Amino acid sequence: MSYDCAALIGGDPIPSVKWMKGKWRQITPGGRISIEHKGQDAKLEIREVTKSDSGLYRCVATNKHGEIESSTTVSNLNPGQEYLFRVTAINDKGKSDPKALTGPVMTKDLLGQPAVMKCQIVGRPVPEIKWYHAGKEIVESRKYEMSSDGRNHSLSIMTDQQEDEGEYTCKAVNEAGEVETTGILVLEAAPSFHPDYPLKETYYAGLGTTLRIHVVYIGRPQPKIMWLHGAKTLENTEEISIETTEHYTHLVVKNAQRRVNGGKYRIRLHNHFGRADTAFNVEIYGM
C-alpha cells in the first residue's frame, strides 16, 4: 500500500529538493527513511511506519529563479506498511506523463452494497481514465458509475454477486505517457449456498463405489464448515476425505456401504455475519 504527495515542478536549472516534517524539521535519509533525487524526479520512502510518522510532510523544490512547495497530511498509519511520496517535473513542452499519487487499496464491503474504489492520478494534459476488472474494461452503466475531477478518480460498483470482488485497475493515458494502479475489492457476506450450483435432494452411489458431493458456497470471511452424517460430525479418515477452499467444499466417500454411508447428511456454514444449513439424502444401491 502506498500514498503519494505530488507536485508538478519545472525549471532551468533543475531544482534541488528537500523534504520537511511539519513546518521546520528537515528529513534526512537513514534507518527507515530513504531519499532519492534523479534529474527532475525525487522520492521519499518510509519503511516500517509507526503511528508517530503521521503528520504534515512538505517537499520544497528550489532553483535560482524561485521556490515551489507541495505538502500533504498523513494520518491513521498502519504499522508495517510503506508510504511513498513523490515529486515529478513537467517537461519543456508543458506536458507530464501521468503519475499515480494514491492507488486503490484493499477495500472491504458487504455484498449487495455499493463499493467504491478510489485513486489519485495527475498529468498534463489531464489524462483519460479507464477502469478494468480482472483485465476487462468497465463500461459505465447502472452497475458501474465513474467520476473524475482531473486528480481524484473513483469507481462505484453496485455489488450483486461474489464475482464482483477481485482486482480493479485504474489506467490513465495522455500524450506524454500512461500509468496504472491496482487495488483489491473483498466482498464480505453471510454464508449461503451458491444458487447456480443447487444441491440435489438425494444422491445415489453404487455399493462399493466412490461417492462424491461437491458444494459451492458464498461467504466472506471464509466460513467454518461442518459435514454431518446423521448426528455424527464427519472428519478425514482412510475412507472419508473432505476438501475445502474459499469457494467450495467437497466430500469423497470411498467404498460406499449401505448401512455405513447411506442416510441423511447435513452441511453447516457459519461466519460472524450469519449461518447457512442444508440437508440431503444418500442412497447406496446394489447387492
Among residues 40, 61, 87, the one where a domain terminates is 87
Residue 123 shares a structural domain with residue 41: no
- Given a contact cutoff of 8 angstroms between Cβ atoms, the answer to whether 112 and 188 are in contact is no
Among residues 87, 120, 135, the one where a domain terminates is 87
Number of domains in the chain: 3
| Grid cell locating 91 | 517537461
Handedness of CA 18, 22, 24, 30 (dihedral sign): negative
- What pLDDT score was predicted for residue 41? 66
| Grid cell locating 242 | 473432505
Instruction: Report residue 276's pLDDT band, with 50, 70 and 90 as the boundaries.
Output: very high
Are β-strands 83-89 and 8-9 bridged in parallel, bridged antiparallel, or unpaired? parallel
- What pLDDT score was predicted for residue 57? 76
Residue 177 shares a structural domain with residue 203: no
pTM for the model stands at 0.59
Residue with cell 447406496: 284
Residue 202 shares a structural domain with residue 250: yes
Which CATH number characterizes residue 203's domain?
2.60.40.10
Give tens-digit pLDDT for 111-132: 999 999 999 888 888 899 999 9
Task: Domain of residue 160: give its range.
Answer: 105-187
Task: Work out the mean pLDDT of the chain and round it to a whole number.
Answer: 83
Q: CB within 8 A of 279, min separation 6: which ones?
A: 264, 265, 266, 267
| Grid cell locating 108 | 472491504
- What pLDDT score was predicted for residue 206? 96
Residue 47 has pLDDT above 90, yes or no: no
Instruction: Report residue 96's pLDDT band, with 50, 70 and 90 as the boundaries.
Output: low
- Average pLDDT, integer, range 32-39: 77
Q: How far apart are CA 73 and CA 58, in angstroms?
A: 9
Is the residue at 133 inside a domain?
A: yes
Q: Is the peptide bond before 104 cis (omega within 30 degrees of 0)?
A: no
Give tens-digit pLDDT for 228-246: 999 999 999 999 999 999 8
- What pLDDT score was predicted for residue 70? 65
Residue 130 shares a structural domain with residue 44: no
